[in-house]
Amino acid sequence: MIKILFFAQLRERLGVAELTQDTLPDTIGALRNELSQQSGLWAELLQKERCLAALNQEIVADNAKLNSGDEVAFFPPVTGG
Partner 1 sequence: MHQDGISNRNIQVSVEAEDFDVNQEYHWLRENQMRDGAIVTFVGLVRDMNAGEKVQKLCLEHYPAMAFASLQSIAKQATERWRLGKIRVIHRFGELDLGDQIVFVGVTSMHRGDAFAAAEFIMDFLKTNAPFWKKEQTAKGSRWVDAKQSDQDKTASWQK
Rounded least distance, CB 6 to partner 1, Å: 10
Q: How many residues bind partner 1 (CB under 8 A)?
A: 17
Site string for partner 1, 43-72 (x = CB under 8 A): -----------x--xxx-----------x-
Query: What backbone torsions phi and psi does residue 51 show, to the nearest 5 degrees?
Result: -140, 115
- Binding part of the chain for partner 1, among 4-12, 19-27, 39-47, 60-68 by CB under 8 A, reads 4-12
**b/e per residue, 48-69, with b = 16+ CB within 10 A?**
eeebbbbbeeeeeeeebebeee
Find residue 52's DSSP bridge partners: 75
User: Where on the chain is the footprint of partner 1 (CB under 8 A)?
Assistant: 5, 7-9, 54, 57-59, 71, 73, 75-81
